[in-house]
């Protein structure tokens, strides 16, 4: 695991202090390079209003926490009793970093996964959901396993990272002809296939495809 460090993110008059690994801090900076920092409310974006890559759809689910026990959802930032686009607009970089750490990085156990597997999973979990990101990893592992006659059995693609998935990953990483470069390449392939499938199913999303594919190509390069 990376060393735990206190980081301070400030925006306007708000300061958020959290403890997280240097590894997460770098992964977050890389993610924001993909997601952007502006408030966007594009009718074609199925997540709704977005800022720092944090969509209204996800904030409604994850922002209802009340860590300060004041009886109000912590991410009802304008205090009007609900979480809506106005609250997305008010998100700070520190808010986004806290949420990504709590809702994605920790749930994935990314610090305990080898580099850059944890980083790739984190990036795609934010983009596609945790279950989909885990399935992408399992498909990538299966793609690697098919290349070796002595490989273990193919994984069940169920989005659960349990002993079988971890054993398969360890096998791929130890196999001389495969290793991390092969797994990273296979993960990128699976991500590209997913993006192309989305664009095929929904032509309104095709205008995002070029950017999505560029994002796939950057995976694992942190």
Mean pLDDT of 146-167: 93
- Residue 11 pLDDT greater than 70, yes or no: no
Give the C-alpha separation, 140 to 143, whole Å. Answer: 5
Q: And the tokens for 175?
A: 């196999």
Mean pLDDT of 23-46: 93
Mean pLDDT of 48-63: 93
Question: How do strand 50-51 and strand 14-21 relate by DSSP bridges?
Answer: unpaired
* 68-124 pLDDT tens trace: 999 999 999 999 999 999 999 999 999 999 999 999 999 999 999 999 999 999 999
- Residue 33 pLDDT greater than 80, yes or no: yes
Task: Spell out the residues 6+ positions from residue 26 whose beta carbon is closer than 8 angstroms to its own.
Answer: 222
pLDDT at 102: 97
- Residue 18 pLDDT greater than 60, yes or no: no
Give the C-alpha separation, 144 to 171, whole Å. Answer: 10
| Angle at the Cα of 71 from the Cα atoms of 67 and 74, rounded to 5 degrees | 45
Position with higher pLDDT, 17 vs 147: 147
Q: How far is CA 205 from the centre of its chain?
A: 20
């Amino acid at each position: 695991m990376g060393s735990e460090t206190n980081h301070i993110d400030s925006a306007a008059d708000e300061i958020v202090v959290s403890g997280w690994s240097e590894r997460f801090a770098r992964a977050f900076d890389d993610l924001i390079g993909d997601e952007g920092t502006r408030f966007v409310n594009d009718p074609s974006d199925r997540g709704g209003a977005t800022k720092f890559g944090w969509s209204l759809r996800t904030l409604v689910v994850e922002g209802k926490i009340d860590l300060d026990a004041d009886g109000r959802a912590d991410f009802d930032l304008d205090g009007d009793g609900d979480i809506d686009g106005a609250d997305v607009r008010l998100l700070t970089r520190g808010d986004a970093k806290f949420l990504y750490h709590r809702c994605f990085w920790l749930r994935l156990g990314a610090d305990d996964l080898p580099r850059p597997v944890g980083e790739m999973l984190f990036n795609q979990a934010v983009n596609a959901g945790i279950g989909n990101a885990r399935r992408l990893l399992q498909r990538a592992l299966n793609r690697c396993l098919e290349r070796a006659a002595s490989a273990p059995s193919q994984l069940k693609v169920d989005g659960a990272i349990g002993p079988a998935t971890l054993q398969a990953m360890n096998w791929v990483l130890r196999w001389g002809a495969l290793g991390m470069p092969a797994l990273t390449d296979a993960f990128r392939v699976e991500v590209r296939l997913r993006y192309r499938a989305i664009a095929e199913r929904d032509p309104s999303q095709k205008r995002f495809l070029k950017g999505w594919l560029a994002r796939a190509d950057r995976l694992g390069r942190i």
